[in-house]
Structure 1
């Protein structure tokens, strides 16, 4: 089983030709930023798991807290007005360290689920406010937001064409990657101005009264680890405010220190309405 693709496991996001030739790398355990396979071969896991093991794989504080929690109960929901005390404590702590002075925290199982939940919240709020037509979601080419139907439609990668996505109402704006998309003799500042001008033109073309939100990663992660061009967010935020379009920062990859600050929003002077 370990030398070929003979198990019953269905592999996700994997090159099957390579898998069939080499077999899977079966991980046994982790220490700090390293993981070890079942033959005790050591690997530097530069992806931190799936971007989520920011404190390493054997942080003693996390182990202690997890063991303590499992001795009480392993998990519980927060429906019907019932929830664990830890859920309340964590909600308060997240707001305390967030860029927001106040707010609400909604816990999900993944970034995909979080993005889908955000879409539904925006749609519901707009309907309750008498604007049911405000449903369109603008994201960007090369942006990555997840694998569920809504999140995949937000993701501006060509492989989603295999699923006949995006769904109607999901629109992909320009990717602010100056090195790849800058024109000959165009300065980075002029490139950013063009990105902002194109975004405003797209908003007007689609009709601002039909747009529920604009969603962006501070740094595009799975799309290629692409930082925005200089002053990109400084120029697009006034445009979004002008047309009353909420700015949603997808911090699933960038958050908790990955850009040098606790939040990618801090690094790029983003003032979001919602953080994923």
Structure 2
């Protein structure tokens, strides 16, 4: 993964996410970090907003703040990693997508505030929209997270259409760049399903996709999916939890407030959120 796009609103959570991403860039051997801020102008109302309407002032303030963040994280990056700053008045999702087209192998880093503000997150209420709408991988950094060398990552698997939906190549790119081990985890609470012919077939497909990477396969029983994932991740000292965002099934509640709150508030671990593959993966 050559390019890290850090979306920031200059909050404490945003700075923490930027510091984490800068430190991670060494392990990833990233070529560049792009610091991005959207100062999207408010919709015109009867109430005057003289400063907000002055795009030039907002732009200059954003440049100054971005340079401050750049200074704060420069010492955390490898010497050959470049840091560039970008700011405009595009809607945040559009701005991120446009930026991603200009650089190779990008992923986005955003932060969340943690327990005190729950779902109120970096770039305000737009965080969930970013996770749902942005096409590239998104690394969500809880405010309590601090970077340590990532030795393993946990991938939650739902054993549904494994071959058709698993973003195998993206996950392998992260694995190889980080030189880390993959722990595949299925959380379930229905023992009868373990012996269902469809489940057995999906387990076979899972092994077919991943065996050449020599991962570990784990199965755990928990009626609370988020809690099961996080307890496992903590027990195995995992550095990142990978979630594949699907439109159905096991993780369909990921973007609902209750599930997102549980994932965000019950861990200090970063969440790497990936979109499901659009077509069957051939291995």
Fold shared, TM-score > 0.5 on shorter chain: no
When the two structures are superposed, what TM-score results if normalisation uses the length of structure 1? 0.31
The structure where strand makes up a greater share of residues is 2
Relative contact order, CA 8 A, sep 6+: which one is greater?
2
Quick check: which has more Rg, 1 or 2?
A: 1
Q: TM-score, normalised by structure 2?
A: 0.31
